[in-house]
Structures are given as C-alpha cells and as structure tokens.
Amino acid sequence: MDYLPVVLVLLGTLSSCLAGAPRTTTPTTTPTDELSFQAMVAAPVNFSSESRIVGGQAANPGQFPHQVAMVVEAGEGAGRETSFCGGSILTETIVVTAAHCIPSETRKITVYAGANSIHDEPTKQELEVDSFIVHGGFSKYRNDIALVLLNTSLQFNERVQAIQLPPKDVGALVGSKVVMSGWGRTTTHGDISPVLRYVESYVLPNPVCQLPYLLLMQIDESHVCVSGLFKKGTCMGDSGGPLSTIKGKDGNATLVGITSFGMKYSCLVSWPPVFTRVASFLGWIEDGMEQLQGKRRPEGVKHLSRSTTRTP
C-alpha cells in the first residue's frame, strides 16, 4: 500500500493551516430564466494553470456511465435561482446526491444522463424528478445525502448504468486509489466545465484529514477524505457527484463517497476534500429507496410538481 500521498498531505495540511481564510465548496448557483442544461454554461470556461474538476482531465464517452448532472430550480420570483450538482445512478429510477444540493424550497429538478458534454449529445437522456428524500439528520457538515426518484425510467446502455454500492464491511480504504468526477468549476471563480472531468487521488486516514478542519468540525466515520495535493480535487458544481473506486477487471466501479464540502487556500496545497461515506448510510439508502418506491410509509418524501404523471 502506497502511503506517500498520506505523508505528503500531512505536511501540506500543516503548512496550509497557517495560510488564511478558507472557502467553502457549495453547489454552483446561477440566477437565470434559462433552465436548460446548456444554459448553465453560457459563458466560456476559464481554463488556467490552476485547472480545477481541479487538476483533472476530460473523461472519455461512457467512462463514468453512473454520473448524472442535476439542475435544481428553487425559490420564487426575484429569489428564484438554479444550481448545478452531480449525482450517481443507483437504479433506473433512483439517483443519490448530496442533501445540500436540494434546498427546502426546491420546485423542480432536471437530471441529465448519458452525455459527457453539457451541450446536446445524441446519447443524452433528460428526465425530471418526481420526488426526493433528504436525510433527516442533515446539517452543514453531517449526513449530507439525499435520494431522488425520476418520473420516468432511465434507459440503460453503455453510456447509462448504475454504480455498485459498497459492502457493509468495506473498511476505511486508507491508501486506496479513488476517482472524483464532475462538471464543476475548473477554477475557484471560473465557470463550470462544459465536459465531464475526473481526477484520481488517494483515501486519507481520518486523523490526517481532521488536522485542517480541527477548529471547524469533527471528521468521523460518516466522512471519507482524499488527498487535496497539487490542486487536485472537487470544486463548486461537483457537489453531490461520486467518489468511486477505479474500475476492476469486471468493469464495475463502487460508490465510495458523495461530494460534500471542502476548503481551499490560494496556494499549492488544498485542504482534503470531504465526502459523505456511502458505506455508513447503506441502511438509510435502503429505507429511502423503499419509501420513494412506495414500499414503506413515505415519512420523509417530498413530491415536486404533479403536472407530469410518473411512468414506469
């Protein structure tokens, strides 16, 4: 097991703590009356030497068939906004994302699957969300997980597939290589990427991850962190997207985490990005899926517009 990234990030986070005020990772939010997928990238993306995903590269078509993009519309009138997040396909009708991507005033969610570019592609599938459930214990840094139910079924093919959930006994995976993917901003103040991007990193021990967040919050078993060295990591717009294992010989990847939050200074070393550890929420995911599918009493389910009838 290669612990070099762990040693490097330990040194880096210690120096980062002396830098300055942190910046919180949030969904990319753009006030607009244009609610289409393409409208979220009206301006050119600012690619620079600080390329942020951060430090990543463009994904090949079908490389991350479980990845979806979500445009979330919330608020009314002058307070109306749209935000951009990611998500992961669990079944033909259910996507998992971050709770902070779905504010309480959400009115409409559109999900896009099967395309690397956020401009039109023949393989793109566009669906609306019928209902969603957010973890009841969600707070700024805790239980950042939600499920959405689509109003029609995704058509699975080589570009659109479900991702595997981890086994209950998956362990901490410290030192394991993982991959982050998303359309998030490539620079701190830039626009979201027009193409899906990804970056590989390593899982850190929680005590190492805790160092830079010591005065902010506690990193516990519900979190998983990766190395944020050399400006590699997630940024605004990647929220809710997957942290997954590298595909094995069987061609399958496993969902390790959900992009939740992170801090970054304007220096070489970033604070470790923090993800919701999926293995810690397997019971909640099972219960939430059953509620959305009507197999259990829908205590936490919120329905969106009923102007469209859900079809199988």
Q: Is 66 a catalytic residue?
A: no
- Gyration radius (Cα) of the chain, Å: 18
**Known catalytic residue: 139?**
no
Give the three-state DSSP class for 177. strand
How far is residue 296 from each of residues 79, 283, 289, measured CA to CA in Å? 35, 14, 9
Residues 6+ apart with CB under 8 A from 12: 228, 229, 268, 269
Catalytic member of 51, 239, 244, 260:
239
Determine whether 239 is an active site residue. yes
β-bridge mates for residue 225, sequence order? 274
- The order of strands in the sheet holding 197-202 is 57-58, 197-202, 177-182, 242-245, 255-261, 274-277, 223-225
DSSP string, 179-246: EEEE--BSSTTSPBPSB-EEEEEEBPPHHHHHGGGTTT----TTEEEB--GGG-B--TT-TT-EEEEP
Phi, psi of 20, deg, nearest 5: -175, -165
Structure tokens at 111: 């999900």
Q: Label residue 35 exposed, middle or buried (CB < 10 Å: 0-12, 13-18, 19+).
A: middle
Catalytic residue of the set 130, 144, 191, 238: 144
- Residues 6 or more apart whose Cβ sits within 8 Å of residue 168: 279, 282
Which of 185, 300, 164 is closest to 239 using CA atoms? 185
List the structure tokens of 172: 């901490």
The catalytic residue positions are 100, 144, 239
